Amino acid sequence: MFTNRGIGRVTSLETKQLSFTDHVIATDILFETKATIKDLATAITESTSEEIHTFLTKELRSAIEQHEKIYGFLQDRGRYDAYNLPQQLQKDIEYADYILRH
């Protein structure tokens, strides 16, 4: 389970609510880092050079750390909880409804 372990946290932002736009941007970044993780993992399995393999492994670790930070950022603000599916689905429905109304 991913948790925000305080890596790179800025306490003054902990209670700040996200605007809808900021939520969309942060969620997009979260999904992009997930795609990057998948791409790096694939590249690692296909690399034949030890130097490239080492480089990609470091990049993969960095991408995982970034994903964890972004997930923690969203979770701390009550915007994303992958471990409570019914609640997350309800939030997603509310966000979709908001978009359709505006």
Kindly give the confidence (pLDDT) of every residue in the chain, 102 residues in length, as a single tens digit, with 9 standing for 90 and above: 344 444 444 444 445 678 888 888 999 999 999 999 999 999 999 999 999 999 999 999 999 999 999 999 999 988 888 888 899 899 889 888 888 888
* Long-range contacts at 96-99 (CB < 8 A, ≥ 24 apart): 98/20
Q: Minimal CA–CA distance to 16: which of 3, 1, 26?
A: 26
pTM above 0.75, yes or no: no
